Structure 1
Amino acid sequence: MFNFNEFIKQIASKSLFGTLLYAKTRAVYEKFMMHRFTDHAYIKHTYKKRFGHPINLKNPQTYTEKLQWLKLFYRNDSMPIVTDKYEVHNYLTNLGYEHLLNDVIGVYTNADDIDFDILPKSFVAKATHGCSSNLICKDKNELDWSKWQNIMNSWLKLNVYALGREWNYKDIKPRIIIEKLIEHQPLIDYKFMCFNGEPKYIQINNDLDGVHYVDFYDIDWNRVDFTYNKFKKSNHVLPIPPQFEEMKRLATKLSAPFPYVRVDFYNPPGKILFGELTFFPGSGLLPLIPVKNNYDLLLGSQLKLPKANHNLLLLNK
């Protein structure tokens, strides 16, 4: 079946022009999808398309079903705040975790306002209101800055909510945040999957020999067999990071207010740096493989859903 979003992603990978075209085309597509489907209809339609069977929202059992249930029937006022890649800095500072934060160079509502001359040689730019809208710059002298300004301004027209119905993104103010580049290599991303305030598994994103791998470990650092269907598993076992126990403690603290959240950290030498809080990884629409082992059901059994506090009339239909 033709997948429009994947098609324009392929175009984007070819050039800076493709990257800009992807963002502009996606913005139009997002508006179309928001008007075409209600949240309930979109989730039912997309879930069946991805998994090959209808979603069970009356009595959800699997991990992916429960994440869709949370989108429709649960609201927590803190979720949009900590989803915002700038506002989460204030949130963590107020909790006493300022030491976990990467250095912010600037925040902008228009990429044309960024003074390129005062930027450091290396930096990271990303949209505060979305995902996969990033510029990792290792040497600004190699950038075509005017084209990247156009690309970043096109990010400001995107709304991640439309293509996954992650409600926490819907009303975030679009901005560009520029942060210090974490220079350490390899820079491994440790993503703690937390169920009802308890870390259970760690998703490890790691690049090796030019290949991006996504592996999973249990909380005792035993490699487990599953991954998402769009990623590759590696053939090696990573050593436990030096500050693993402290990252686990922090993940427990930061996840406590939420039924489910993924808490991401980096662990360059001698330091823990916060990555982000993610409530619906892959919009909760990525099948786990191998399918025959039903890891979706295993993870779903770890998550106790809260009492519904939104869309109650829809819930009772």
Structure 2
Amino acid sequence: MTPPNSAQLDEEAAASVLLRKELELHEDKVLAEASQSLAALYQSPAQSGSVIRRIKEAAKSVLPDSLFLSLLHHKCIGRYPNLVRPVTFNEKILQRSLRPDSRYIGLTDKLLVREYIAGKIGQEHLIPLVAAPAEFTRKVFDALPDAFVMKANHGSSFVEVVRRKSETSFEKLRLLADKWLSTAFYSVARERHYRKIKPRIFFEQLLLDDSGKIPADFKLHCFGGRPGGPIIYILVISDRFGSNTRGDVYDIDWNHLDIAIGYYKRSVTPAPRPPHLQAVLDTAVKLCEDFDYVRVDLYAPDNRVYFGELTFTPGAGVLPFTPDKTDYEWGKLLA
């Protein structure tokens, strides 16, 4: 990671002072200025709710990154972060968002990273790519198989699962693709490495296990840079696209930990230890060996291990932990 220079530290120190003394006042001022500049765009009083939302979005767009992230952190975590001397996991992830390693760009791009993954663990661990067109046209749609997953390469949550093509349409998917492509993902949470990723739509094979279900997501938080190997926590997201989504955290021995990450509910009863757990862990260890921290996402249907993505700033540094002390404990693991 590029070390901070004095100008960067001065900027963040100034931001910290603002946060402690004048943060809310500053935010109100920006909102007022945005209101004046946008007022002429709106006509009908009936649209006041929409107007307020758009004013708030405009206000956020003019806030400096460090100030915006501090406000967002306060909203999601309940406290303002220390960006100069970060202590918690989330604070250190915020620092990464502001000063990302140059490697993050290509490794976060969900298309470009495939070459890196093939070189590290082999082509057989990549989800088969169906199409990565320069433009999503009806011809491309017609050539797609009956089942597939549509994704975008430049951000999180750009995923559309299609089990039967007859139940969707080109027009519906094209509208969704256009929405994704027009989203500047950097502006969502100011993760700066996303600014240089060129948005693309691509299509992958739909992974299903032998029972026809979409496999669980294994999100392995890997703290590396240790002689004895990385420290790994496994977040398992089950039934992600269903009505009973759960998020459970395990250690490498498959002990069900009393930790909740984000807004996922824990399962009352932990899942049985997967027979292929060691293969999942071995794959994660291989993929995290070049980094002091990375979240490695994998799928493992029926003893096969497939790569999902590498994430260097999970939750954009505003990821709630329950209990909150986990934020501090994980912060000690991250340099």
TM-score range, shorter chain: 0.7 to 0.9
Higher strand share: 1
Aligned length: 275
Determine which structure has more spread, i.e. the larger CA radius of gyration.
Answer: 2
> Is residue 73–residue 317 contact of structure 2 (8 Å, CA) maintained in 1?
no
Q: What's the secondary structure of 2:291's corresponding residue? A: coil
> Is residue 120–residue 286 contact of structure 2 (8 Å, CA) maintained in 1?
no
> Is residue 261–residue 278 contact of structure 1 (8 Å, CA) maintained in 2?
yes
1:49 maps to which of 70, 75, 83: 75
- 1:267 shift after superposition: 0.8
- The answer for the alignment partner of 1:72 in structure 2 is 98
2:132 maps to which of 78, 86, 107: 107
Alpha-carbon distance in 2 for matches of 1:178, 1:29: 35
Whether 2:253 is the aligned partner of 1:216: answer no
> Is residue 109–residue 174 contact of structure 1 (8 Å, CA) maintained in 2?
no
Whether 2:115 is the aligned partner of 1:82: answer no
- Structure 1's unaligned 5+ residue stretches are 1-24, 305-317
Alpha-carbon distance in 1 for matches of 2:280, 2:58: 41
- The answer for the alignment partner of 1:300 in structure 2 is 331
> Is residue 48–residue 55 contact of structure 1 (8 Å, CA) maintained in 2?
yes
Q: 1:199 to 1:113 in 2, by over 3 A?
A: farther
- 1:149 shift after superposition: 0.8
Amino acid at match of 2:279: E
Alpha-carbon distance in 1 for matches of 2:146, 2:281: 33
Alpha-carbon distance in 2 for matches of 1:144, 1:119: 12
Q: What's the secondary structure of 2:235's corresponding residue? A: strand
- The answer for the alignment partner of 2:195 in structure 1 is 170
What is the TM-score of this pair, normalised by structure 2?
0.76
Whether 2:176 is the aligned partner of 1:151: answer yes
Alpha-carbon distance in 1 for matches of 2:84, 2:194: 25
Alpha-carbon distance in 2 for matches of 1:203, 1:246: 16
- Structure 2's unaligned 5+ residue stretches are 1-50
5 Å-filtered alignment, 1:268-307, equals: 268-291=301-324, 294-304=325-335
**RMSD value over aligned CA atoms?**
2.3
- 1:42 shift after superposition: 1.3
- The answer for the alignment partner of 1:247 in structure 2 is 280
Alpha-carbon distance in 2 for matches of 1:114, 1:47: 44
- 1:49 shift after superposition: 2.2
Q: 1:84 to 1:31 in 2, by over 3 A?
A: farther
- The answer for the alignment partner of 1:190 in structure 2 is 218
- 1:229 shift after superposition: 4.3
> Is residue 96–residue 313 contact of structure 2 (8 Å, CA) maintained in 1?
no
2:152 maps to which of 127, 139, 143: 127
- The answer for the alignment partner of 2:232 in structure 1 is 200
What is the TM-score of this pair, normalised by structure 1?
0.80
- The answer for the alignment partner of 2:298 in structure 1 is 265
Alpha-carbon distance in 2 for matches of 1:210, 1:254: 32
> Is residue 223–residue 334 contact of structure 2 (8 Å, CA) maintained in 1?
yes
> Is residue 110–residue 153 contact of structure 1 (8 Å, CA) maintained in 2?
no
Amino acid at match of 1:80: I
Q: What's the secondary structure of 2:91's corresponding residue? A: helix
Alpha-carbon distance in 1 for matches of 2:246, 2:74: 27
Alpha-carbon distance in 2 for matches of 1:140, 1:149: 13
Amino acid at match of 1:56: N
- The answer for the alignment partner of 1:139 in structure 2 is 164
Q: 1:254 to 1:31 in 2, by over 3 A?
A: farther
Alpha-carbon distance in 2 for matches of 1:275, 1:162: 23
Higher helix share: 2
- The answer for the alignment partner of 2:16 in structure 1 is none
Q: What's the secondary structure of 2:161's corresponding residue? A: strand
- 1:62 shift after superposition: 1.1
Whether 2:45 is the aligned partner of 1:38: answer no
Alpha-carbon distance in 1 for matches of 2:168, 2:267: 32
Q: Identity over aligned residues, as a percent?
A: 33
Q: 1:150 to 1:237 in 2, by over 3 A?
A: same
- 1:183 shift after superposition: 1.8
- 1:295 shift after superposition: 1.2
Q: What's the secondary structure of 2:301's corresponding residue? A: coil
Q: What's the secondary structure of 1:299's corresponding residue? A: helix
- 1:114 shift after superposition: 5.0
Alpha-carbon distance in 1 for matches of 2:139, 2:247: 34
- 1:176 shift after superposition: 0.4
Alpha-carbon distance in 1 for matches of 2:158, 2:103: 23
Amino acid at match of 1:201: Y
Alpha-carbon distance in 2 for matches of 1:296, 1:262: 15
- The answer for the alignment partner of 1:314 in structure 2 is none
Deviations 1:31-85 (A, max 9, x none): 8467412221211221122222221122221111111122223x32221111111
Q: What's the secondary structure of 2:278's corresponding residue? A: helix
- 1:199 shift after superposition: 3.9
- 1:120 shift after superposition: 0.6
